[in-house]
A and B are shown apart, each in its own frame.
Chain A
Amino acid sequence: MEIYTGQRPSVFKLFGKFMRKGLYRILTQGPIPTHLAFILDGNRRFAKKHKMNEAEGYKAGYLALLKTLTYCYELGVRYVTIYAFSIDNFRRQPQEVQCVMNLMMEKIEEIIVEESIMNAYDVGVRIVGNLKLLDEPIRIAAEKIMRATANNSRFVLLIAIAYSSTDEIVHAVEESSKDKLNSNEVCNNGIEAEQEFKEANGTGNSVIPVQKTESYSGINLVDLEKNTYVNPYPDVLIRTSGLSRLSNYLLWQTSNCILYSPFALWPEIGLGHLVWTVMDFQRHHSYLKKHKEYLK
């Protein structure tokens, strides 16, 4: 799969592709992760290490992303989620924030232009996060690319922009509340929810009087899970640069997810890291499957 070149691949590239295919034939003797999540950490440190400016560091990171997505597609991974920009990142220097936004805008527009290739390879793009925090042009572009690739499902790329897990959880609570208001179901859950509210307030005085015909059913775990931005949940989360924290990313979705932290900076990530990820996943697949059944 070559997304962005119209040139005839060289002999080395063809040989590389052939070797990769052989490697995939071996790896696919075991289970392959359905969903991989990435935290693209280390672009600025890469730029510093190679005496580049930050914009060049981010561009190197973008090339590494394309390579990684190609390998994931070839291997048969169905979903990839990348943490492109967190809500906390808005606190960075304005010039840096603008640089990242400009790069994202440029790349989203490129994808829109290459829409036919995306459709040919059945690749879907979903932008997830609190999009209201983005400027209008980038928000419009994001909505356009999502509409254009909405029916593509062989490989889905979820790009988390203006995203944080805690914001996602609060959003899920809001959406679940709206769903409950709209459905206006009457059931015992409403009484349990009222009880929680009574306990939380310490007194019954401030509670809405219970009238069965008007009470709403409470929010269930299933409601919240349905309203999270990222679904299905990832099998492995890879954070480059050797850091071992989630930084408010996919906290809800990683209860049953392997966390892998290679020391490589994001632009240095390669096929070897992906192979290692798959091997690790295969080693622990049945343990995680059992744990997932328990958590249900």
Chain B
Amino acid sequence: MDLKPGAGGQRVNRFVDPISYHFLQFLWRTLHLLVSLWYLQVSMVQMIEGFLISSGLVKRYGALDIDKVRYLAIVVDSEEAYQISKVIQLLKWVEDMGVKHLCLYDSKGVLKTNKKTIMESLNNAMPFEEAVEKDVLLDQKQMTVEFASSSDGKEAITRAANVLFMKYLKYAKTGVGKEEPCFTEDQMDEALKAIGYKGPEPDLLLIYGPVRCHLGFSPWRLRYTEMVHMGPLRYMNLGSLKKAIHRFTTVQQNYGT
């Protein structure tokens, strides 16, 4: 948590008016202390609730309609992603719950680097690329796991943009086609798939980290994705995971209509 004074709009000059400055600083830090106490209280309640759900004492989360989660994405803060044992535990819970397609993301690619270790620890999982190659994506026997990082987001879109640009140049040179570049979203979809980015849009995205932020997950794949902040990875628990998925299954999407 950062409590360094910033370049705010109406800061009091500490040299001109030291009493006001220190008084305002005191009030500011007190306000932040109250907010921190609030978050601490919320975390404790969530931990207790998570424990009760994990132990099966809260019946409401007993049966989950997991089929509604066709594609789950998990975003992990890159510093926390080094806790590979925690990540593996999380994936085992997800696998046991019956999730069939999963995307694991951290912006620096720490999880990608540890892909082999992670895949070997799972009982019945297959890398997403292999499933696509073997055309077994619809096969419900194994969980497919896709690994992604920030290079699979905006940079991938840039590469797809170049594919479209080159196609346009080709048609422009042959005299066929419009005068100005005019592309569609479907063409962008096709271009991304053509360069190997075939992952679909996740239904639900769980964020494990200090901030509720998707940290650069591919912008093309987030249009209607529900995002849930789960808190830091070190405090993860099965109960909170069940609750997040259960809540998702009760959400109604109207897609803007």
Pair A295/B257 contact, Cβ less than 8 Å: no
B91 at the interface (CB under 8 A from A): no
A32 / chain B contacts, CB cutoff of 8 Å: 6, 8-9
A63 at the interface (CB under 8 A from B): no
Distance, CA A201 to CA B193, complexed state (A): 11
Distance, CA A27 to CA B6, complexed state (A): 10
A4 at the interface (CB under 8 A from B): no
Closest residue of chain B to A197, judged by CB? B166
B256 at the interface (CB under 8 A from A): yes
Closest residue of chain A to B212, judged by CB? A259
B54 at the interface (CB under 8 A from A): no
Give the contact-size bracket for chain B: 35 or more
Q: Mark A152-178, 1 if CB is under 8 A from B, else 0.
A: 000000000000111101101110111
B159's partner among A180, A196, A286 (CB-CB below 8 A) is: A196
B interface residues with partner A (beta carbon < 8 Å) = 1-12, 24-25, 27-28, 31-32, 35-36, 107-108, 150, 153-155, 157-159, 161-170, 173, 180-185, 187-188, 191, 194-195, 210-216, 219-220, 222-229, 251, 253, 255-257
A12 at the interface (CB under 8 A from B): no
A279's partner among B10, B11, B35 (CB-CB below 8 A) is: B35
Chain A contact surface mostly: helix
Pair A246/B223 contact, Cβ less than 8 Å: yes
B157 / chain A contacts, CB cutoff of 8 Å: 169, 224
Contacts A245-B224, A288-B211 given: A30-B5 contact, CB under 8 Å?
yes
Distance, CA A252 to CA B257, complexed state (A): 22
A165's partner among B166, B210, B223 (CB-CB below 8 A) is: B223
Distance, CA A87 to CA B11, complexed state (A): 42
Of A178, A207, A252, most B-chain CB atoms within 10 Å: A252
A248 at the interface (CB under 8 A from B): yes
A173's partner among B36, B165, B225, B253 (CB-CB below 8 A) is: B165
- State the 6 A-B residue pairs at the shortest beta-carbon distance, nearest first: A88-B256, A76-B9, A31-B6, A28-B8, A286-B2, A197-B166
Distance, CA A288 to CA B211, complexed state (A): 8
B100 CB to closest chain A CB (Å) equals: 21
Distance, CA A183 to CA B51, complexed state (A): 61
A259 / chain B contacts, CB cutoff of 8 Å: 212-214, 227, 229
Distance, CA A175 to CA B163, complexed state (A): 15
Pair B185/A27 contact, Cβ less than 8 Å: no
A5 at the interface (CB under 8 A from B): no
Pair A194/B166 contact, Cβ less than 8 Å: yes
A254's partner among B155, B181, B213, B223 (CB-CB below 8 A) is: B213
